[in-house]
Amino acid sequence: MTDWRARKGPIGVLTGAGISTESGIPDFRGPRGVWTEDPIAELLSTYQNYVADPELRQRAWLARRDNPAWTATPNDAHLALARLATARQVGIITQNIDRLHQRAGSDSVVEIHGNMFEVVCIDCEFTDSMAATLERVAAGEPDPACPECGGILKAATIMFGQHLDTDAIRAAVQIAETAEIFLAVGSSLQVEPAASMCAVAVDAGADLVVVNAEPTPYDEYAAEIVRDPIGVALPRLVSEILGD
């Protein structure tokens, strides 16, 4: 059987929170994850709770202000994927909202769960930057309202209870269906429909490679499973793919 590294077609990548932990951004469900250490924090990611509870929204704005992604920098894993894209066709599907892939130099990135750097109104088409909205919070608005319609503002992220963006899902499926190699990196592969991109890729003939510290539901379909730290494993795999 031909080693998956020898395949020369497009490469798809699905990344989860685990790829950013070495940049100082904690994951959610791990032993020291955000939700593990502070179960109430998970409520901040639930749309219905957020809309219904002004006090929860106030806490959410402070959490956005203090998010470590503001000062985080891409780590070796992000940089390795950007390097891979200089020589191969690479499409990245990310569950992360931190934009570290883009800051590392990757330009084909589908943000399946949105991003934390923009703000949207739930009632109208108003959008703004997160930085500008946090300036309003600092100036004394603990729960800033939409300046156009008075509606509730939130980060441009997909919360639990919200529908995913259909264009983003379509783009993700396109990456998965056309990939010959599909890397699943730093994801528990438990959150759908992101995790199902692995199945889409395998069904279309891709070799799946899982890079994650813990077992995932898709390990049985993988051509290779890598448990090494992502910041070490991914640069090594990229060098192997490129034949360095």
Report, as residue numbers or ranges, the catalytic residues. Answer: 113
Instruction: With residue 58 as reference, give the H or E element that holds it.
Output: helix 54-65
Task: Say whether 97 sits in a helix, a strand or coil.
Answer: coil
Q: Name every residue whose Cβ is closer than 8 Å to that of residue 106 and which is 6 or more positions away in sequence.
A: 78, 81, 82, 85, 90, 92
Helices (H) and strands (E) in the chain, counts: 9, 9
- 126: left (phi > 0), else alpha (psi -120 to 50), else beta? beta
- Cβ atoms of 107 and 27 closer than 8 Å: no
